[in-house]
């Protein structure tokens, strides 16, 4: 087991714990409402998971420890973090419909399923289909968006405009990265 894979597994575990806490968030009007720890604990876990996403990839490349397992685990952990977080925030979207439109969650989750399916097909043929710059920027924007949403719902009003801007950045990068992966897959499968 490589150091980057251990970090990825730890990130996955932290994400799951964060999702459990996020799933317990009360809706607006429910007593007692969101309290400090229940907001900032999953927020902190997701933030740490997002940062370690970039650390494990960097270490894998710099230590020469890129592995097939890592190429499977890393995107899986990303998808659980982003898709899980956005899906669990949907019940709160009635309070912030302009910041968390359910259609965006459908687009993000659909893109992840499609690209993961394509990656699985290509990797099963013994060809590499690693993440590229578009995918990394997409993931970074999704992390900022998710964190801004959580902070805004948790009471930091100034994070609302950040989430509003990143909604459109996420939409653009999710779409562009999907198109880029489809193009890349087309060329890989032809050769």
What's the pLDDT tens digit per position in 130-183?
778 899 999 999 999 999 999 998 888 899 999 999 999 999 999 999 999 999
Q: Which range has the worst mean pLDDT, 37-41, 58-62, 88-92, 99-103?
A: 37-41
Mark out the alpha helices in the chain (DSSP H runs): 3-23, 36-62, 68-89, 102-124, 133-153, 159-190
With 0-12 / 13-18 / 19 or more C-beta atoms within 10 angstroms meaning exposed / middle / buried, residue 65 is middle
Name the 3-class secondary structure at 90: helix
Query: Of residues 38 and 10, which shows the higher confidence score?
Result: 10
Q: Which of these, 76, 74, 22, 73, lies nearest to 44 by C-alpha position? A: 22
Which residues are CB-neighbours of 73 under 8 A, at least 6 positions away? 5, 8, 9, 12
Q: Where are the domains of the chain?
A: 3-190
CA 3 to CA 86: how far, in whole Å? Answer: 29
- pLDDT value at residue 177: 95
Encode pLDDT of 65-109 as tens digits: 988 788 889 989 999 999 999 999 998 888 788 899 999 999 999
- pLDDT value at residue 34: 65
- pLDDT value at residue 157: 87
With 80 as the cut, is the pLDDT of residue 26 above it?
no
With 50 as the cut, is the pLDDT of residue 191 above it?
yes
For residues 145, 82, 137, 120, the Cα torsion angle rounded to the nearest 10 degrees is -160
- pLDDT value at residue 31: 45
- Placement of tokens 């399923």 in the chain: 113
Model-wide pTM > 0.95? no
Q: Architecture of domain 3-190 in CATH? A: Up-down Bundle (1.20)
- pLDDT value at residue 96: 82
- Placement of tokens 């994070």 in the chain: 159
């Amino acid at each position: 087991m490589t150091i980057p894979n251990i970090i990825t597994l730890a990130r996955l575990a932290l994400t799951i714990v964060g999702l459990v806490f996020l799933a317990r968030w009360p809706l607006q009007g429910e007593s007692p409402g969101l309290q400090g720890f229940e907001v900032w604990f999953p927020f902190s876990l997701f933030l740490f998971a997002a940062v370690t996403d970039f650390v494990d990839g960097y270490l894998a490349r710099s230590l020469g420890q890129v592995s097939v397992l890592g190429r499977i685990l890393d995107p899986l952990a990303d998808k659980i973090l982003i898709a899980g977080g956005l899906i669990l925030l949907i019940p709160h979207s009635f309070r912030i419909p302009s910041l968390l439109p359910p259609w965006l969650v459908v687009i993000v989750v659909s893109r992840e399923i499609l690209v993961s399916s394509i990656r699985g097909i290509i990797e099963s043929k013994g060809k590499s289909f690693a993440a590229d710059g578009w995918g990394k920027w997409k993931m970074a924007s999704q992390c900022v968006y998710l964190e801004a949403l959580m902070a805004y719902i948790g009471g930091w009003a100034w994070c609302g405009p950040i989430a509003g801007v990143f909604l459109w950045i996420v939409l653009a990068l999710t779409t562009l990265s999907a198109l880029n992966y489809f193009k890349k897959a087309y060329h890989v499968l032809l050769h």
